[in-house]
Amino acid sequence: MNKSGSAQGTDGEIITILLVDDIPEARENIKKMIAFEPDMKVVGSAGTGREGVALAKELKPNIVIMDINMPDMDGIQATALITQAVPTTAVIMMSVQSDQDYLQRAMLVGARFFLSKPVSMDDLYNTIRSVYVQHKQLAEQYRTMASASSGVAVKAPSQVASGDDDNRAGHIIVVYSPQGGAGCTTIATNLASGLMREGIRALLVDADLQFGDVGVFLNIQAQSTIVDLARSVGDLDTELFDNIVVTHDSGLKVLMGPTRPAEAFVVQENPSAVATIIQKIANHYDFIIVDTGRHMDETLGALFDVASKIVLVATPTLAGVKNVRFVMDEFDQLGYSTDKTMIVLNRVPLDRNLQKFAIPSEKISKFLKRPVEVEIPSDELTALTAMSKGVLIVAQRDRSRSPVKEFMQLADLIYTKMMGTETEAEAKPQTEKTGGLFRTNIFGRTS
């Protein structure tokens, strides 16, 4: 499954492994394969789920390789108990059933990876090393926390006193478009960067859980993501949060989305997890800018509910505008105040030949019954150059030039609206009366 390659940064460390499988030959097979690898060591093996949990607690291995079908306690239940009790351990599930349902259930209880039986040597080695490397940072963080707190429950961010860093404005700006490719990620990344200024703390969150590409745009990889936070959303800890947030070369703080689409399942189980995480850390930042995917689900509905402002991105095309109108009608029905949303038109053609195919912004405003607040011109070269270098468009020195100018105009507008005329109602995320767009059955979903 994972072909990501050779020994990736295990740095001469020995990866300790516990095998859990009810079939002795299966355990023996894996053990033999692992014996060839100098950086791996099987430290224990168990024939039942229950025994596996007990040994994991005792040995605290780096990795558990877990069979799914076992008598007494199955692999999924055992994984749930191990990831709870020994968070420093990462579990790799192994099963002949490679169907979606198993995969989902395994990921939901905290498994890090899923291997289909029979497994090839290469797949086994690569998966063990890559899961070890991915989990390492988080595991170290858990170890530090455990020794620091020595049994005392860790505090939620809201309870942690850390100077004025826990008393920030906490404006949550959700960037959304019902149209794929309209420019949400481009706008969210540049808006977050544009909002950064002296004394202001901004955080960019990739909440496009399935196909988020903030990491690609900014050329950053993270070993830990929002999914790791979602797993422990009940007792979220500031220190853990700070360790998961990565810093882009520009200084921008970023909370990355899942590394694989399958991990989104973890969050789907608890659709309000992402909104809850953001709310919990909101008072540590002045602005939290949230990039979203177009897929309408309850996670998105919960984000809309807690947003201080929703930036709705349209392109000057019929399809783009029609769908934005549909979303706005829903917002109206939910009783969202008009100033909760803001229309931004992106990819407006500058070329005269193309302009005649674009819908003029006055017509769009009329149709949407809201003003188009910022119009960002289309500039493929600038957008692609920035993306290929992993830099932001607004990082260009000449801010008087389009489209840098318009991206900055958007950032300045939001800054002034939110920080300049801050009222009680604006300062707090609004939770609307109706209880959320996607809990209605309009998209075929009920809660």
Binding site for ligand ATP (CB under 6 A): 177, 180-186, 208, 293-294, 346-347, 376, 378-380, 383-384, 387, 403
State the minimum distance, in angstroms, from the CB of residue 281 to ligand ATP.
23
In the complex, minimum distance from the CB of residue 205 to Mg ion, in angstroms, rounded to a whole number: 13
Q: Spell out the residues 6+ positions from residue 283 whose beta carbon is closer than 8 angstroms to its own.
A: 157, 158, 166, 167, 168, 170
Distances (CA, A) of 97 to 24, 86, 115, 122, 186: 19, 26, 10, 20, 40
Q: Which does 373 bind (CB under 5 to 8 A by kind): ligand ATP, Mg ion, none?
A: none
**Smallest separation, CB 215 to ligand ATP (Å):** 12
293 vs 429, which CB is nearer to ligand ATP? 293
Q: For residues 10 and 185, which CB has a smaller minimum distance to Mg ion in the complex?
A: 185
The 3-state DSSP class for residue 372 equals strand
Q: Is 186 in the site for Mg ion (CB under 5 A)?
A: no
* CB nearer ligand ATP, residue 68 or residue 202: 202
- CA angle, corner 249, sides to 201 and 401, nearest 5? 85
CB of 246 to ligand ATP, least distance (A): 19
CB closer to ligand ATP out of 183 and 436: 183
Closest approach of Mg ion to the CB of residue 177, in Å? 9
Q: 19, 46 in Cβ contact below 8 A?
A: yes
Amino acid at 406: E
Q: How far is CA 226 from CA 87, 201, 232, 300, 420, in A?
A: 16, 19, 10, 15, 31
CB 113 within 8 A of CB 85: no
| Interacting partner of 384 out of Mg ion, ligand ATP, none (Cβ under 5 to 8 A depending on kind) | ligand ATP
- Beta strand pairing call for 246-247 and 253-255: antiparallel
The helix/strand/coil state of 310 is strand
CB of residue 268 to Mg ion, shortest distance in Å: 18
180-188, 301-309, 374-382, 409-417 -> range binding Mg ion (CB under 5 A): 180-188
Q: According to the binding rule CB under 5 A, does residue 292 interact with Mg ion?
A: no
Number of residues that bind Mg ion (CB under 5 A): 2
- Residue 315 in contact with Mg ion, rule: CB under 5 A: no
Q: Pick from ligand ATP, Mg ion, none: which does 341 bind, CB < 5 to 8 A by kind?
A: none
Q: Which residue has the tokens 């000449």?
A: 398
With contact defined as beta carbons under 8 Å apart, do 179 and 400 qualify? Answer: no
Residue type, 127: T
Nearest to 267 by CA among 240, 228, 325: 228
Provide, rounded to whole angstroms, the least separation between the CB of residue 104 and ligand ATP: 23
| DSSP three-state, residue 215 | helix
Altogether, the residues listed in the chain come to a count of 447
Judged by CB under 5 A, the residue of 185, 189, 279, 409 near Mg ion is 185
Closer by beta carbon to Mg ion, 108 or else 256: 256
Quote the least distance from Cβ 315 to ligand ATP, whole Å: 9
Instruction: Reply yes or no: is the peptide bond before residue 403 cis, omega within 30 of 0.
Output: yes
Report what 376 binds from ligand ATP, Mg ion, none; CB cut-off 5-8 Å by kind: ligand ATP
216 interacts with, out of ligand ATP, Mg ion, none, CB within 5 to 8 A per kind: none
Q: Which residues bind Mg ion (CB under 5 A)?
A: 184-185
